[in-house]
C-alpha cells in the first residue's frame, strides 16, 4: 500500500497497514500518529510556507505531514529514527523532488545537517524538551517552528515569571521565540491515544534573537544556575555563579551586587520572578564586568 491510498485518519487502516509490513507502534519512541486531517492542515498552514522553502520535519512517521508539506512546494528534510518507517518513507517519497531523509536519532543527526528556515514536528514526547533546548543552545535558529508537544511542555514554554511552570527552559526558548498556542489536542486526536493532552504551538523567531542583539553568551549558564535554586535570593545565587565562573569567591558577591544594582533588580528578589529582558540585561552586565570572559 502506498501513502496516497493510506487513510491517515483511520486507526483501523493504519493498524492494517502496519501489520501488513510487520511493523508496530513503539511507545518508547513516542509514536502517536495525528489522525485528524483538519488539524494536520492547520499546523502545516501555520508555517506560512512559500514554494521552495526549506523545512526540517522531525519524526515524520508514515509521512502524513510530509505529504502536506510537499504539496505546498516545500523542500523537506525528514528526521526519522524508526527503521521500518524510514524504509517506507524512502519508498514513498524518495523520488519526490525536494525530499530528503535523515535516518537515526535526531538528537544526534541534526548537528551534521545544514539548517533550514522552518521546522515542523509532532515531537516524540520523550525528546521534545531536550531537542528544543539543544537547538536553541546550539544557535540553530528557525524563522518559524510549528510543533506539537505534551500540554505540560506547552505550559512551560508560555509560562510567565512567578508561575510554577516558569523555568530556565522558558527563558532559553521563549527568549528566542514568541510562542503562540494554535490548538489543544486530546488523546482521541492520535493513534494510539496517548495518556496526555497535547498542544500545537507556533514559535516565531524574535527580532532580537540573532545578530548584534542576540542574547549574551552568559545568559544560558547563568539562568540555569539561578533556577537550580529558584527559591534563593538572586544575590546569593548570582554570587555563586560569578564565583564558579572566575574560580574564586573573592570579589564575586561585589560583582553580583554591582550588576544587580546596575539593572535595578532588588538583591533579595527570587530568580523565578525575573522576566526575560531582566535576565538578558543581567547577563550582559556581567559580561561587561568581565565575568566569564
Q: Would you count residue 34 as binding ligand SAM (CB under 6 A)?
A: yes
Q: Would you count residue 124 as binding ligand SAM (CB under 6 A)?
A: yes
Contact 70, 40 (CB under 8 A): no
The gap from C-alpha 221 to its chain's centroid, in whole angstroms, comes to 18
Q: What string marks each residue from 83 to 102 as x (binds ligand SAM by CB under 6 A) or -? A: --x-----------------
Q: Which stretch binds ligand SAM (CB under 6 A): 16-24, 75-83, 243-251, 267-275?
A: 75-83
198 — phi, psi (to 5°)?
-125, 160
Q: If you search the block for the grid coordinates 494510539, which residue do you land on? A: 192
CB of 23 or CB of 209, closer to ligand SAM: 23
Contact with ligand SAM (CB under 6 A): which of 47, 69, 76, 106?
Answer: 106
Q: Would you count residue 154 as binding ligand SAM (CB under 6 A)?
A: no
Binding residue count for ligand SAM, defined by CB under 6 A: 22
Q: Would you count residue 33 as binding ligand SAM (CB under 6 A)?
A: yes
CB of 113 or CB of 269, closer to ligand SAM: 113
Contact 44, 70 (CB under 8 A): no
Q: Which stretch binds ligand SAM (CB under 6 A): 122-130, 201-209, 215-223, 247-255?
A: 122-130
Neighbouring C-beta atoms of residue 87, cutoff 10 Å: 14
- CA gap 79, 101 in Å, rounded: 6
Q: Would you count residue 110 as binding ligand SAM (CB under 6 A)?
A: no
Q: Which stretch binds ligand SAM (CB under 6 A): 24-32, 174-182, 247-255, 283-291?
A: 24-32
CB of 60 or CB of 271, closer to ligand SAM: 60
Residue 136 CB, shortest distance to ligand SAM, in Å, is: 17
Q: Would you count residue 82 as binding ligand SAM (CB under 6 A)?
A: yes
With CB atoms as reference, the residue minimizing the distance to ligand SAM is 59
CB of 194 or CB of 239, closer to ligand SAM: 194
Q: Would you count residue 137 as binding ligand SAM (CB under 6 A)?
A: no
CB of 193 or CB of 293, closer to ligand SAM: 193
Contact with ligand SAM (CB under 6 A): which of 39, 61, 70, 185?
Answer: 61
Contact with ligand SAM (CB under 6 A): which of 6, 76, 116, 127?
Answer: 127
Question: Alpha-carbon torsion 165, 166, 171, 177, what sign?
Answer: positive
Task: Write out the residues near ligand SAM by the rule CB under 6 A.
Answer: 29-34, 59-61, 64-65, 79-82, 85, 105-107, 122, 124, 127
Amino acid at each position: 500500500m502506498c501513502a496516497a491510498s493510506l487513510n491517515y485518519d483511520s486507526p483501523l487502516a493504519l493498524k492494517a497497514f502496519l501489520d501488513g509490513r510487520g511493523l508496530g507502534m513503539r511507545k518508547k519512541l513516542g509514536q502517536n500518529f495525528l489522525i485528524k486531517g483538519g488539524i494536520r492542515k492547520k499546523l502545516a498552514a501555520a508555517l506560512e510556507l512559500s514554494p521552495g522553502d526549506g523545512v526540517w520535519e522531525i519524526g515524520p512517521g508514515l509521512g502524513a505531514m510530509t505529504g502536506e508539506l510537499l504539496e505546498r512546494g516545500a523542500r523537506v528534510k525528514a528526521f526519522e529514527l524508526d527503521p521500518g518507517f524510514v524504509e517506507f518513507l524512502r519508498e514513498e517519497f524518495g523520488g519526490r523532488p525536494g525530499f530528503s531523509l535523515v535516518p537515526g536519532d535526531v538528537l544526534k543527526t541534526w548537528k551534521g545537517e545544514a539548517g533550514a528556515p522552518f521546522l515542523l514536528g509532532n515531537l516524540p514526547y520523550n525528546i521534545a524538551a531536550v531537542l528544543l533546548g539543544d537547538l536553541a543552545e546550539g544557535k540553530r535558529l528557525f524563522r518559524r517552528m510549528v510543533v506539537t508537544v505534551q500540554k505540560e511542555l506547552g505550559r512551560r514554554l508560555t509560562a510567565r515569571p512567578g508561575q510554577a511552570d516558569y523555568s530556565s527552559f522558558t527563558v532559553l526558548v521563549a527568549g528566542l521565540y514568541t510562542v503562540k498556542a494554535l490548538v489543544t489536542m486530546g488523546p482521541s486526536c492520535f493513534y494510539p491515544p496517548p495518556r496526555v493532552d497535547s498542544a500545537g504551538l507556533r514559535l516565531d523567531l524574535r527580532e532580537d534573537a540573532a545578530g548584534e542583539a542576540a542574547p549574551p553568551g552568559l545568559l544560558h549558564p547563568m539562568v540555569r544556575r539561578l533556577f537550580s535554586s529558584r527559591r534563593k535570593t538572586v544575590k546569593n545565587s548570582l554570587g555563586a555563579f560569578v564565583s564558579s565562573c572566575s574560580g574564586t569567591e573573592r570579589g564575586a558577591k561585589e560583582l553580583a551586587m554591582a550588576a544587580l544594582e546596575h539593572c535595578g533588580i532588588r538583591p533579595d528578589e527570587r530568580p523565578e520572578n525575573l522576566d526575560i529582558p531582566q535576565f538578558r540585561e543581567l547577563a550582559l552586565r556581567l559580561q561587561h564586568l568581565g565575568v566569564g570572559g
